[in-house]
């Protein structure tokens, strides 16, 4: 049993102003794995006050001082990577190999990237008669989701600290353990009092209090579109900067070549990683109509080979994060069946042989782009395959979405793949794979605003001052 009943405020672990707790459920076992305290507006006030008091000195700290802190954090992070990965597996159900691998690796990568960017970042630049000065924006409220808990915390906390901001973190209620360990790492690394603060609790309470707080200068939020809209409204009265990374319904375009079956299989397996709980997941797979039967067979085979079960064992897919999320996924599968989508693999209920835990079947539909399962973000292991006639048709289908967060193109003709990527209205597009911690990540349309990762992530936390003459 894990106990996360204290908050980290002003350099100390403190009890909440008003005691209130909630159980944390292990999604693989449906058993209580620990308890967290639920914070209140009073706790937020204390954390924001500490951050505001610390901003004066931390905003004036040197690049060398900030680099020293980040490197000390890096050493502490490296020493606890196994523990962090185990926490991710316990809190949100990722297979242990994924938790101790990519989940933890993302956090380490964002930390190293923050160090690399800070080493060469130009906070001052002479432009003719004007000196452009980039200064930290102030106190930042950071609100993060449960699906990639370390990634989402580290991609916000480390750039904020590196640019001289002070922070109040509201980690996810459903997945609080890895953030708790990260706070311990920052404390041991010697983060100055008030520079980093953390208050656990409900988003409707802590997130709302941060968004409305007059002494918070910026909100960075990753999560669902409806919550992002509400945060923007709450922040408007105090004219805060608001950075939003919201939902997605990303298209994955498969080109017509002799690698089609292999690319379809890879896309199908990729959709099931993290139980489909990835905002940029390629959940709409676009394939040539002329080879639809071949594509469906490849997708069916790939989905049926995805192993599902105890995340502590050697499986490819664990449970979704909660009973509520399991119900959401089941409802969407039922909607797909009701709409007349052709079920290619998976379907309703738990996988055969599993009688507890929030496990879903890796599910593939053949559908059309006007179906609910192709329009709305499901956030589960559900893939919709849609046929296209030619490249213009593929681009039109890909862009016919209210979202624009991620996109994918797979095929041997790189020039064609790049040409399609240029026409897709989305913030990040992977052409035949690849990965880059310095590539800006963020959305078009209802997928949000602003960019994270790398140098562009620094810009989110900086104001630009012109000194003229």
Catalogue the active-site residues: 245, 279
Whether 442 and 404 have beta carbons less than 8 Å apart is answered as: no
Token digits of residue 69: 């802190």
HSE toward the beta carbon, residue 439, CA cutoff 13 A: 10
Cα 199 from Cα 15, distance rounded (Å): 10
- Chain centroid to Cα 346, Å, comes to 26
How many degrees, rounded to 5, is the angle at CA 255 between CA 382 and CA 412?
Answer: 120
Cα 339 from Cα 368, distance rounded (Å): 10
Which residues make Cβ contacts (< 8 Å) with residue 228, sequence separation at least 6? 221, 244, 246, 448
Q: 3-class SS at 430?
A: strand
Strand order in the sheet with 428-431: 342-345, 363-366, 382-388, 284-288, 251-254, 406-410, 428-431
Token pair 């003719």 is at which residue? Answer: 128
Whether 354 and 309 have beta carbons less than 8 Å apart is answered as: yes
Cα 262 from Cα 157, distance rounded (Å): 38
428 strand-pairing partners:
406
Cα 87 from Cα 94, distance rounded (Å): 10
Helix (H) / strand (E) element for 366: namely strand 363-366
- Euclidean distance between the first and final Cα of the chain, in Å? 62
CA distances from 376 to 230, 247, 348, 425, 467 (A): 19, 9, 18, 17, 47
CA distances from 217 to 139, 198, 462 (A): 5, 17, 11
């Amino acid at each position: 049993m894990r106990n996360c009943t204290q908050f980290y405020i002003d350099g100390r672990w403190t009890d909440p102003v008003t005691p209130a707790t909630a159980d944390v459920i292990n999604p693989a076992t449906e058993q209580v794995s620990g308890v967290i305290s639920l914070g209140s507006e009073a706790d937020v006030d204390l954390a924001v006050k500490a951050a505001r008091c610390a901003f004066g000195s931390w905003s004036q700290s040197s690049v060398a001082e900030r680099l020293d802190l980040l490197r000390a954090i890096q050493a502490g992070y490296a020493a606890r990577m196994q523990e962090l990965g185990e926490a991710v597996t316990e809190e949100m159900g990722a297979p242990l190999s994924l938790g101790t691998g990519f989940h933890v690796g993302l956090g380490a990568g964002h930390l190293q990237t923050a160090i690399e960017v800070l080493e060469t970042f130009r906070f001052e630049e002479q432009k003719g008669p004007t000196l452009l000065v980039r200064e930290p924006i102030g106190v930042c409220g950071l609100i993060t989701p449960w699906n990639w808990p370390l990634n989402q915390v580290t991609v916000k906390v480390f750039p904020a600290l590196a640019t001289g901001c002070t922070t109040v973190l509201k980690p996810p209620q459903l997945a609080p353990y890895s953030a708790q360990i990260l706070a311990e790492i920052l404390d041991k690394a010697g983060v100055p009092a008030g520079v980093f603060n953390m208050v656990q609790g409900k988003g409707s309470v802590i997130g709302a209090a941060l968004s409305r707080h007059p002494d918070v200068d910026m909100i960075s939020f990753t999560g669902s579109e409806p919550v992002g809209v509400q945060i923007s409204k709450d922040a408007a009265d105090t004219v805060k900067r608001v950075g939003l990374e919201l939902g997605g319904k990303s298209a994955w375009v498969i080109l017509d070549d002799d690698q089609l079956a292999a690319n379809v299989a890879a896309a199908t397996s990729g959709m099931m990683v993290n139980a489909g709980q990835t905002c940029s997941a390629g959940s709409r797979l676009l394939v040539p109509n002329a080879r639809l039967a071949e594509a469906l067979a490849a997708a069916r085979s790939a989905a049926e080979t995805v192993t599902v079960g105890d995340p502590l064992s050697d499986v490819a897919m664990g449970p979704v994060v909660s009973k509520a999320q399991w119900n959401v996924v089941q409802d969407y599968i039922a909607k797909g069946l009701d709409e007349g989508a052709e079920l290619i693999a998976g379907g309703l209920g738990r996988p055969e042989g599993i009688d507890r835990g929030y496990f879903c079947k890796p599910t593939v539909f053949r559908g059309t782009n006007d179906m609910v399962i192709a329009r709305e973000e499901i956030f589960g292991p559900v893939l919709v395959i849609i046929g296209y006639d030619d490249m213009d048709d593929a681009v039109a289908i890909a862009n016919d979405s209210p979202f624009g967060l991620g996109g994918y193109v797979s095929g041997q003709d790189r020039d064609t793949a790049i040409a399609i990527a240029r026409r897709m209205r989305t913030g990040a597009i992977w052409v035949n794979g690849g990965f880059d911690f310095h590539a800006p990540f963020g959305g078009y349309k209802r997928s949000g605003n602003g960019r994270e990762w790398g140098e562009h992530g620094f810009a989110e936390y900086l104001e630009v001052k012109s000194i003229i003459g």
